[in-house]
Amino acid sequence: MSFSFNLKHEDAGTRARRGEFRTAHGTVQTPVFMPVGTFASVKTMDLKDLADVEAEIILGNTYHLLLRPGQAVFEKFGGIHDFMGWKKPVLTDSGGFQIFCLPEHRKITEEGAAFRSYVNGDLFLLSPEKSIEMQTAIGSDIMMVLDWCIESTSDHAQTQVAMELTHRWALRSLAARTRTDQALFAIVQGGVFEDLRRRSADFLTQHAFDGFAIGGLAVGETKAEREDHTELVASMLPKYKPRYLMGVGTPADLLEAVYRGVDMFDCVIPTMYAQRGVAYTSRGRFHVTPTALRMSDEPLDANCPCPTCCNYPVGYLHHLAKCKEPTGWRLLAIHNQVYYQRLMQRMRTAIEQDRFQQFYDETKASWLAIAAVRSADPVHDTI
């Protein structure tokens, strides 16, 4: 089954969009948040947990899966779905962001990114063709082109060089694709320079990609710059293809980006914060580690139906967090993923009902009220 995207509705008062895309492993409703499964596993969560949080699609990491377990393993198992037992859609990133995170340990050339494995020290060359070859072996439903991501604080000249190389790599990625059942998304770069963002979007949308991502954000720019360039790029992308803001991820970020016309998101925040004893709740971001909570028999969030909130008191979650028990990380991760998925569902409903502006205003007002009382409540802070 080939990939397809259906734009079902556009909100009457904002740029927010309601859609769905279909893949060989199922249909996904948008706007959507994708839990990150870096090593073919969402941190601390098993398949039942992912079903409980109603995740429709997860993300895998090409760079890390290339190094371990390696391409041969995925070829043996016939792809990531049979390997990990996940039967729903998977998106894989290309490895570009991980290369960005290794400035002292990689070399970028026209051919690709050369780096040494953190597993055994072997030298690898991640080219556009190799990235697609690996993603083909993984069998993801959506693949990403290899891009050169740089700090958003880079100057215009360096940003242009990286953007133009990203364009050439994108065309090589497109030429390397061999399977029609795997979608391929291009990545718009250009930093915080309007002229470069416009050039990048214009160039990439002339080619036969199945969707488009906005890359190179959340890497040093201000919140205002991120929102402005998200809105700019989204406005230039094809109406009937999905738009994906890569690696951006607080609840506030998701709200702002949906408002500006973005369809897809991923971020490690729900699981990363869980390991720090932090949960997103209807009363703000909640820290379970303060000593004052050791006797609390209250649920984490009385307004949440997740298994964690229904079965475990805060005092127990506090205990697990202080002991660094993986069970505590798992229970908070389940809750955070449910929070994210419920937020996306509420946004989808608001778009369908042409009241996203109202939802946006009311949600921001609620979060601002939480921030206003932050200093008076040491276990809560702003979203």
CA distance 174 to 226: 28
- With a CB cutoff of 8 Å and minimum separation 6, the contacts of 101 are none
CA distance 300 to 287: 10
What are the structure tokens assigned to 173, written together? Answer: 């990625």
Is residue 224 within 8 Å of 243, Cβ to Cβ? Answer: no
CA distance 146 to 165: 10
> Which residues are bridge partners to 108 per DSSP?
113
CA distance 128 to 108: 12
Catalytic residue among 141, 210, 266, 301: 266
Q: 3-class SS at 193?
A: coil
Clarify whether 93 is annotated catalytic: yes
Catalytic residue among 11, 49, 93, 210: 93
- Bond from prior residue into 31 cis (ω within 30 degrees of 0): yes
- With a CB cutoff of 8 Å and minimum separation 6, the contacts of 219 are 100, 149, 150, 151, 152
The one-letter amino acid at 67: L
CA distance 302 to 306: 10
Clarify whether 266 is annotated catalytic: yes
Is residue 126 within 8 Å of 99, Cβ to Cβ? Answer: yes
CA distance 304 to 302: 6
| Catalytic center residues | 93, 266
